[in-house]
Amino acid sequence: MNLETLLLRQAHSNFVVDGQLTSQAFCPFPKDDGELSVYDGDQITAERSFEHYTDTQGLDSAGVWAVSKGEVDSAGVSAHPSPLDNFPEHASINFNECAENKWRKIAKLLKRKALNRGCQFALEE
C-alpha cells in the first residue's frame, strides 16, 4: 500500500439518497472501534470488491467509492492493511487518531474526495 493506493469503500444503500452519497458512508460504525473497513485497491478491482461484498459476504452496497491513502492521510487519519482469513484485500482507515467529535468532519472530507473521483462501480439501474 502506498500513497496512491485507492481504498475502496462500499456505500450502504441507506447512505445514498436519490443518488446523493452522504458522509455516513465514510463514518466508522461504533462497534468497529473507530476502524472503517475498505478494500485495498492494489489487490482487487472495484467491481470484484462489490461482488465479494454483496455475493460472498451477502452485505448491502449501493456502489463503490474510493479515496487514496494520501487523501486519507491528509484528512488527519491513517490507512493500513488488515487482512482477514479468506479476505486478504481487507484494509482499514483508523479514525481513532482523532477525537470522536471530529469524525463527521473527516467523513465529509473523505466523501468530497470520493465524489471528485466518481463512483468506481455500481450496478446499472
Partner 1 sequence: MKSAFIQPRFIGARFNEHTLPLDVASDLRAYEELIVELAKRLYLKDNPSRQRVPKGFDADFHLHLEQIEPGSSRPLLSIVAAGTLLLPGANGDYFQQSKELVNECIAAEQGRLPEAFPRDLLKYFNRFGRSLRSDEKVEFSLSSGTATLTPERRKHLVLAGDKEYEREIEINGFVEEADWQKSSFRLRHLDGSKSTIPMSQAFHDQIRKIGGNQRHLVSVSGIGAFDEWDRLRKVLTSDSIEIQTNYELSRRFEELKDLKDGWFDGAGCAPNPDLLDEIAEKMVSDYPKRLVLPAIVATPEGNLLLEWDNDMDPSVDLILEERSASFHAFDPDGSDIERVFPLTNKQEWDSFFNSLDTFAGEEDSA
Sign of torsion, CA 39 41 45 46? positive
- Please classify residue 50 by burial: count the beta carbons closer than 10 Å to its beta carbon, then call 0-12 exposed, 13-18 middle and 19+ buried: buried
Considering the complex, state which of residue 4 and residue 123 has its C-beta at the smaller distance from partner 1.
123
To partner 1, the closest distance from the beta carbon of 13 in angstroms equals 10
Dist. CA 112–CA 97, nearest whole Å: 20
Alpha helices in the chain (DSSP H): 46-51, 69-74, 103-117
With respect to partner 1, which residue has the nearer C-beta, 103 or 121?
103
Cβ proximity to partner 1: between 18 and 55 the closer is: 18
Contacting positions for partner 1 (CB under 8 A)? 12, 14-15, 17-18, 20, 22-24, 27, 29-31, 59-60, 104-105, 108, 111-112
* DSSP structure class, residue 57: S
We find the least distance from the C-beta atom of residue 24 to partner 1, in angstroms, to be: 5
In degrees, to the nearest 5, what angle opens at C-alpha 92 toward C-alphas 40 and 29? 130
- The CB-of-3 to partner 1 minimum distance in angstroms stands at 21
Give the residue with the Cβ less far from partner 1, 4 or 105.
Answer: 105
The three-state secondary structure class of 16 is: strand
Nearest distance from C-beta of residue 2 to partner 1, angstroms: 26
